[in-house]
Amino acid sequence: KHFPLRRGARSLLGGGPRRAVHAVDDVSLRLRRGSVTALVGESGSGKSTVARLLAQLYPVTSGEILLDGRPVRAGRGRALRAYCRHVQMVFQDPFASLNPVHTVRYHLTRALRIHGRAGDGRQELERALAELLGQVQLTPAGRYLDSFPHELSGGQRQRVAIARAMAASPRVLLADEPVSMLDVSIRLGVLNLLRDLKERLDLAVLYITHDIASARYFADETLVMYAGRMVEGGDSETVTQRPAHPYTRLLLSSAPDPDRVEGTGGGADGRDDEALPADADPSSVEPPSLISPPPGCRFHPRCPLAMERCRTQTPPRFDLDGGQWAACWLYDTPDAADAADTAGTV
Ligand code: SF4
Ligand code: MG
């Protein structure tokens, strides 16, 4: 039911095998079935790393992953295969994730076979293929099954990639910027499809995006990441209407139009490296390097409200009303002192 990930990760990026980089740190999250959790942040914030950790594409070097309350033994063999079946991933670029020399039928048949769902005989297989394409609203199936990826639109390709993930009948779907490379006009359709699947199949969806406006529209819960740490969380309505963390406020103020629901945020080219406006320190508008992040609150070089302690002390999570929380010293009121104590310094 719950799916928390706790602290620590080593990324394979940014160094040779001996140079471990702590790409994300003290990350803790819980995915619920029948619910979409958005993980929002700039490019380089570590949000894709969180998805890859959950997909077991990167090793978790400290901490643990629980599935249905039971720890998942990282690693190998049958346990890993079972886990990977339950936790499927959809990537940003549907063209890169589908093999251009193979048809839709090939991709989906292979996935069904891997997960033992191809059935016995041709008829059962055809039924399973039609059902998968029906789930992603590509009907009639016959029109798509023998197509190659380049014969499909971007949106259709992403639907095929989603269908392939669904072939495993997963409980968790990790969707890393699933619409940011798609044409603006079709983004909403793909997000609505994911929402529909979440509801019908009781899926836990992790929706990774740089676009906080789409999180508000699409996600039940929203988590905000900055420089490898989670800085704010709560239900999407609260986080986007009453953002507590200065970084979340900055993200919202730089979102092109918060009332827009197309799931856009960037240009139609879908790059996820939109520049944020310079604020406190114009020389430091780039997200900090994860190899040597700033001490204390990692946001302090850009924070207009930074205080002395922010430069040296890492803020713990402070609980606010209604399940919202923020990792920011602004909320270190006498009331919040207990929360600070139990969270400890990290
Ligand atoms: Fe700004 Fe300090 Fe809060 Fe960090 S802890 S966001 S620097 S006020
Ligand atoms: Mg990414």
Superfamily designation of domain 35-270+288-341: P-loop containing nucleotide triphosphate hydrolases (3.40.50.300)
- The ligand whose atoms approach the alpha carbon of 23 most closely is 2
Q: Is the pLDDT of residue 114 over 60?
A: yes
- The ligand whose atoms approach the alpha carbon of 340 most closely is 1
Q: State the ipTM, two decimals.
A: 0.97
What pLDDT, on the 0 to 100 scale, is given for residue 26? 79
- The ligand whose atoms approach the alpha carbon of 306 most closely is 1
For ligand 1, atom 3: residue with the closest CA: 328
Atom of ligand 1 nearest to the CA of 326: 3
- pLDDT tens for 44-77 read 899 989 998 898 888 887 888 888 888 886 556 7
Q: Which residues line ligand 1 (CB under 6 A)?
A: 245-246, 297, 299-300, 303, 305-307, 310, 315, 328-330
How confident is the prediction for the chain on average, in pLDDT? 83
Q: Of residues 1 and 333, which shows the higher confidence score? A: 333
The least confident of 33-37, 180-184, 306-310, 320-324 is: 180-184
Q: Ligand 1 pocket check: which of 303, 308, 332, 345 to mutate, most ligand atoms within 8 Å of Cβ?
A: 303
The domain locations on the chain are 35-270+288-341
> Distance between CA 336 and CA 341 in Å, rounded?
9
Q: Of residues 61 and 138, which shows the higher confidence score? A: 138
Prediction pTM value: 0.82
Q: Write the DSSP string, 170-199.
A: -SEEEEESTTTTS-HHHHHHHHHHHHHHHH
Say if residues 158 and 95 touch (Cβ distance below 8 Å).
no
Q: Is the pLDDT of residue 150 over 90?
A: yes
Mean pLDDT across 219-227:
96
What pLDDT, on the 0 to 100 scale, is given for residue 74? 59
CA of 226 to the centre of ligand 2 (A): 13
Q: Of residues 337 and 127, which shows the higher confidence score? A: 127
